[in-house]
Homo-oligomer: A and B are copies of this chain.
Amino acid sequence: MRRRVKVLSAGVAAAVIATAAAADDYGKDAALEARFDSAISPAEMDGWLESLAAEPNHVGSAHDKANAEWVLQKFKDWGWDAKIETFKVLYPTPIKVGLELISDNPYTATLTESPVAGDDPTNTKDALPAYLAYQGDGDVTAPIVYANYGMPDDYEALKRMDVSVKGKIVIVRYGGGWRGLKPKLAEEHGAVGCIIFSDPHDDGYAVDDVYPAGPARPPQGFQRGSVEDMTLYPGDPLTPGVGATERAHRLSRAKSKVILHIPALPISYGDAQHFLAAMGGQVAPPSFRGSLGITYHIGDDDAAKAHLIVTSDWSLKTLYDVVATMRGAKYPDQWVLRGNHRDGWVMGATDPLAGQIAMLGEAKAIGELAKSGWRPKRTLVYLSWDGEEPGLLGSTEWAETHADELKKKAVVYVNSDTNARGYLFVEGSHSLQHFVNEVAEDVTDPETKATVGARLRGKLLADSLDQSASDKDKALGKIAADPSEDIPIGAMGSGSDYSVFLQHLGLASLNLGYGGERDWGGVYHSLYDDYKHHSTFVDPGEVYSGVLAKTAGRLVLRAADADLPPVRYSDVADTVAGYLDEVEKLADHKRAVAEAQARAFDLNAFSLASDPTKPGAAPTKLKFVPHFNFAPLENAVERLKQSAKAYDEALAKKGDSLSDAEKAKLFDIAREAEQALAPKEGLPGRPWYKNLITAPGTLTGYGAKTLPGVREAIEQERFSEADKYAALTADAINAYSDAIDEGTSLLIGKSK
């Protein structure tokens, strides 16, 4: 028997008590994994990275297609059954972009990133200019208003300063929430254009030395990206819910709800400084202040106007997903899926190729195992996605195309994306938490020679003692200090290719990677995220791409070969109980805040507090917060705890005595249970998102909201929806318990 020490991964604060251990070793075969590890070669990955990242490889670029063909050939060389699947998607490309400052000091924004001496690939002529996919095109001239991060709180702050953005061009900085929300919220508030700049405070010189002296953003660097409204649905804007095959039914561009209507551009802080320095109006409040060497003003006056032009080619483009399969010897219709995207915004060395080469390393090592006679019990499907950057296009369209088959066959989808030197990060389905903790205990961290699990535990514990530690950090530190507890894995929001699997199809999913030692975010989506930057500052020698391969590879191998499902339902029960507790506290907190605010209005506090020399207004009045019927959820969570406990205990006692068919049946039950959490109705206003346990927040974009139907109804004052979604979510949890109970019956029946 193997030592069963708990290990770790990172993300969310809910403390999860370890329950009875599963009956098997979750498919672990130490000898096989040792052979697998020995076939992982960071030195070889280094060569792959340099080649894949040699030229811009965004959707539609020549190098993107060439990379797909190169990857295809590699899979074939390694013994996989591989092919390229193509999709036709709406993917706009810039025809014209322009931005001028109209002021006493006029200025024309560069909108291009200059090359760096000594880093040859940055001399490319093929890089996209400053551009945001799925912005709205236009040619507008208007006064500028600075709206900080462009998030809802910032518009509330502007309102309290008596500033409207109606008819104005909004300039906002990156950070504080997902990029795509910035022009969307600007549009909703009446703005006619949106400029997003990278403030040096957030990823430039304030954070670290700038490239090439260090990893941080140089003055001329900007962040491209997608502003497709992925809070409604990701993937091709014209084919929601179905695969964007040649013959798919398509919406017109005008009918698609995920494309914005105002022009928007990203700019560098070198460019932004000219605009911000020219602006007059009120002095920006403290939360709006960045690290440019100026006084930030709100603008909204005649001192500075902007002229913004964006014109795009809105033709359909072709995606190239590489799909490689290794058929399972025992359960060919149970699939273990593993994916990482291949397209970047420019060269994409850290994002996504550091993850892509890890996945390729796994595929090569598995190929070698297969050549020596081993075969996985379950079918492996490796996926090199195209078009992730514009909106998870490659994964979404592929999974929508194969939805029925996936719902019947997928055991788990394992995703990765960017990767860097540092600490393990995992988020995903909570049923897999203990499985992940087990794997993390078997991978060695090259910097400390401890396991990656032990290293993360150390990191969480050390961080929890820092003066700046949040309550969440402190809670994680307590868990980390107790070896009898698993480290929780985070809930999934969005931002990478797992979204369609978890949130649309309801399939168990994981997303993992390494990072956190030196911040590389300053080159994110810029020309400077290239091989030289990556191998100098992010992961010299691609050592941590190798560690990622060993970690994700173990997840794949064990999921493929496990006799029993690598799940522990008690972890789900405990975690969901924690989420319910959060939501109940949220309601109480919102109620108390609304009552305190009402009291403040009664006492005329906002008038009394205001400075009469400044324009000002009271805050938006909060709605009275009713009491909600959480009883169905409370009952469902209680039942889930009982059901999970019964299953986990029965499995520990009886799992090994099941027949192969019965063991396979438990996998089917696990799959059905996960799908029960994503019923047909979906989330309010965005039915593509079906998972009622976790979703990307409509006002966070990437960040997860758990129990989203209920939580967002309360957060966003759509109070009448809260009871409805509490009941729907309770139904989903009860269906999950039903599935578990079926498994328990099977186990107990066996014991009779």
Interface residues of A (CB under 8 A from B): 153, 200, 205-210, 214, 216, 283, 286-287, 289, 291-296, 422, 447-448, 450, 454-455, 457-459, 461-465, 467-468, 477, 480-481, 517-518, 593, 596-597, 599-600, 603-609, 611-613, 619
Q: How far is the CB of A191 from chain B (nearest CB, A)?
A: 23
Residues of B within 8 A of A611 (CB): 422, 447, 517-518
State which of B206, B294, B465 has its C-beta within 8 Å of the C-beta of A289: B206
Q: Given known contacts A596-B465, A600-B481, A619-B465, is B289 in contact with A458 (CB within 8 Å)?
A: no
For the complex, give the distance between the alpha carbons of A206 and B207 in Å. 17
Residues of B within 8 A of A517 (CB): 611, 613
For the complex, give the distance between the alpha carbons of A367 and B250 in Å. 89
State which of B207, B209, B459, B606 has its C-beta within 8 Å of the C-beta of A462: B606
State which of B291, B465, B600 has its C-beta within 8 Å of the C-beta of A465: B600
Question: Could you pull out 24 A-B pairs where Cβ atoms are within 8 angstroms?
Answer: A206-B295, A209-B283, A214-B295, A289-B291, A292-B293, A293-B293, A448-B607, A448-B608, A450-B604, A455-B609, A457-B608, A458-B600, A458-B603, A458-B606, A458-B609, A459-B608, A463-B609, A465-B597, A465-B600, A477-B596, A480-B605, A481-B599, A481-B600, A481-B603
State which of B210, B464, B468, B606 has its C-beta within 8 Å of the C-beta of A287: B468
Q: Given known contacts A153-B467, A605-B461, A608-B459, is B293 in contact with A205 (CB within 8 Å)?
A: yes
Residues of B within 8 A of A619 (CB): 465
Q: Which residue of B lies closest to A596 (CB)?
A: B465
Counting chain B CB atoms within 10 Å of each CB, the highest count among A286, A294, A295, A619 belongs to A295
How many monomers of this chain does the complex have? 2
Closest A-B pairs by Cβ, 8 of them: A458-B608, A293-B293, A462-B609, A458-B605, A461-B605, A459-B609, A205-B295, A462-B605
For the complex, give the distance between the alpha carbons of A461 and B597 in Å. 9
Q: Given known contacts A464-B596, A465-B619, is B603 in contact with A457 (CB within 8 Å)?
A: yes
User: Does the CB pair B205–A294 fall under 8 Å?
Assistant: yes
Q: How far is the CB of A9 from chain B (nearest CB, A)?
A: 15
For the complex, give the distance between the alpha carbons of A208 and B611 in Å. 15
Q: Which residue of B lies closest to A293 (CB)?
A: B293
Residues of B within 8 A of A214 (CB): 283, 295
Q: Which residue of B lies closest to A622 (CB)?
A: B465
Q: Given known contacts A458-B606, A600-B481, is B295 in contact with A208 (CB within 8 Å)?
A: yes
For the complex, give the distance between the alpha carbons of A604 and B481 in Å. 11
Q: Which residue of B lies closest to A463 (CB)?
A: B609
Counting chain B CB atoms within 10 Å of each CB, the highest count among A210, A291, A454, A455 belongs to A291
State which of B200, B289, B468, B603 has its C-beta within 8 Å of the C-beta of A461: B603
Residues of B within 8 A of A467 (CB): 153
Q: Which residue of B lies closest to A451 (CB)?
A: B608
Q: How far is the CB of A698 from chain B (nearest CB, A)?
A: 19
User: Does the CB pair A295–B612 fall under 8 Å?
Assistant: no
Given contacts A209-B295, A455-B608, list 9 more A-B pairs with CB under 8 A.
A205-B293, A205-B294, A206-B295, A455-B609, A458-B603, A461-B603, A465-B597, A465-B619, A518-B611
Residues of B within 8 A of A286 (CB): 207
Residues of B within 8 A of A603 (CB): 457-458, 461, 481
Q: How far is the CB of A543 from chain B (nearest CB, A)?
A: 12
For the complex, give the distance between the alpha carbons of A605 and B458 in Å. 4
Residues of B within 8 A of A216 (CB): 295
User: Does the CB pair A596–B459 fall under 8 Å?
Assistant: no
Residues of B within 8 A of A206 (CB): 289, 295-296
For the complex, give the distance between the alpha carbons of A454 and B480 in Å. 49
For the complex, give the distance between the alpha carbons of A214 and B295 in Å. 10
For the complex, give the distance between the alpha carbons of A206 and B293 in Å. 8
Residues of B within 8 A of A607 (CB): 448, 458
Q: How far is the CB of A574 from chain B (nearest CB, A)?
A: 23
Q: How far is the CB of A540 from chain B (nearest CB, A)?
A: 9
For the complex, give the distance between the alpha carbons of A608 and B462 in Å. 9
Q: How far is the CB of A589 from chain B (nearest CB, A)?
A: 12
For the complex, give the distance between the alpha carbons of A420 and B360 in Å. 67
Q: How far is the CB of A38 from chain B (nearest CB, A)?
A: 24
Q: How far is the CB of A626 from chain B (nearest CB, A)?
A: 21
User: Does the CB pair B461–A600 fall under 8 Å?
Assistant: yes
Residues of B within 8 A of A454 (CB): 608
For the complex, give the distance between the alpha carbons of A113 and B467 in Å. 37
Q: Which residue of B lies closest to A611 (CB)?
A: B517
Q: Which residue of B lies closest to A273 (CB)?
A: B293
User: Does the CB pair B518–A210 fall under 8 Å?
Assistant: no
For the complex, give the distance between the alpha carbons of A295 and B465 in Å. 27
For the complex, give the distance between the alpha carbons of A477 and B293 in Å. 35
Q: How far is the CB of A199 from chain B (nearest CB, A)?
A: 11
Residues of B within 8 A of A609 (CB): 455, 458-459, 461-463
Q: How far is the CB of A186 from chain B (nearest CB, A)?
A: 21
Q: Which residue of B lies closest to A292 (CB)?
A: B293
For the complex, give the distance between the alpha carbons of A459 and B208 in Å. 39
Q: Which residue of B lies closest to A478 (CB)?
A: B596
Residues of B within 8 A of A518 (CB): 611, 613
Q: How far is the CB of A715 from chain B (nearest CB, A)?
A: 14
For the complex, give the distance between the alpha carbons of A596 and B458 in Å. 12
Residues of B within 8 A of A422 (CB): 611
Q: Which residue of B lies closest to A447 (CB)?
A: B612
Q: Which residue of B lies closest to A213 (CB)?
A: B295
For the complex, give the distance between the alpha carbons of A480 and B609 in Å. 12
Q: How far is the CB of A279 from chain B (nearest CB, A)?
A: 12
Q: Which residue of B lies closest to A600 (CB)?
A: B461
Counting chain B CB atoms within 10 Å of each CB, the highest count among A216, A448, A597 belongs to A448
